[in-house]
Amino acid sequence: MALNTIEFECKSAAPAALVGKPLHFGVVGSGDLEVLMEPKALKGAVAVKVVTPVSGFDELWRRVLATFVENSKLGDVSIEINDNNATPAVVMLRLRQALSEAAA
């Protein structure tokens, strides 16, 4: 019953250090999530930690995050997500919004 924690790394083909300082985005509403992004020297990789009440979607999380990291060319960042059953569409939207917050 305890919360499910998924941890993995992914790496873009051409990673860039896009997150200069720690940022937080989002609210853990129903079907939504919050994300912390913090710069971290990972040789271009992105460390992901997802905490979610839903189990059985580990592979989905990996794919969504890998796509996000590849498309955004994000690197050297630690990403932590508290999820409450967000769909991949929402996950992608929130991650992009978080990143655009970093650029602002």
Q: Which residues contact other proteins (rule: CB under 8 A)? A: 1-4, 22, 24, 27-30, 32, 34, 36, 38, 51-54, 57, 60, 63-64, 82-85, 87-90, 92-93, 96-97, 100-101, 104
Beta-strand relationship, 32-39 and 77-84: antiparallel
Q: In the complex with other proteins, which residue's Cβ is closer, 41 or 89?
A: 89
H/E stretch holding 7:
strand 4-11
Question: Considering beta carbons, is residue 13 or 43 the nearer one to other proteins?
Answer: 13
